[in-house]
Amino acid sequence: MRGLFHAHMGWLFIHTQRGNKERFAPDLIKDPTIEWVDRTFLLWAIGGLFLPFALGWVIGGTLFAAVTGLLWGGLVRVFVLHHFTYSINSLCHVFGNRDYETTDESRNLALIAIPTLGEAWHNNHHAFPTSAVHGLGRYQVDLSALVIDGFEKAGWAWDVVRVSPDRLSAKAV
């Protein structure tokens, strides 16, 4: 259980090179838009809490409604989003199915596939890390792949990587 906790969120409290932008995202830090968003992150975070507070105030007309908006539209939303994100690296390495051969313990966890927008098809991702589609099975709903498909059809995304049926069957368990 200690390992599961560490994989879920314990790693947040160990300060290593995991956030080294120059090492992990040198191309992104050269992009002026991404650099601006990174530089103004605190404003975005505060805005993500202020907006539900303000909407609660405007819609409900009371301080109670504003605080309720902050609680549910801000704090609970961030808490739930973060824990679903953390579950990819914890739960998806302990529970679920292994559809493809990999050198790790990654697994597909259908239970959280929809709220993680398809990222819970984690074994698929580890087997084919460059694929834009993680839901590789017939009933594996992958909402992010649907968005990418839509962007591709609109001309906003190109060179989208998909896995051929031959590669899928070659790695199938």
pLDDT per residue as tens, the chain (173 positions): 778 888 888 888 887 766 788 888 889 889 999 999 999 999 999 999 999 999 999 999 999 999 999 999 999 999 999 999 999 989 999 999 999 999 999 999 999 999 999 999 999 999 999 999 999 999 999 999 999 999 999 999 999 999 999 999 999 98
Same domain, 27 and 70: yes
162 and 139, same structural domain? Answer: yes
- Look at residues 62, 91, 120 and tell me which one is the last residue of a structural domain: 91
Same domain, 84 and 119: no
| Owning domain of residue 104 | 98-171
Asked if residue 107 and residue 66 are part of one domain, the reply reads: no
Residues 106 and 72 in one domain: no
Biggest CA pair distance of the chain? 61
The answer on 78 and 19 residing in a single domain is yes
Based on the domain organization, do 127 and 55 belong to the same domain?
A: no
Q: Is the Cβ–Cβ distance between 79 and 90 less than 8 Å?
A: no
Q: Are residues 59 and 115 in the same domain?
A: no
- 134 and 144 in contact (C-beta within 8 Å)? yes
Domain count, the chain: 2
> In the block, which residue shows the tokens 């120059």?
22
Domain match, 69 and 86 both = yes
Q: Which pTM does this prediction carry?
A: 0.80
Considering the domain architecture, whether residues 74 and 144 belong to the same structural domain is answered as: no
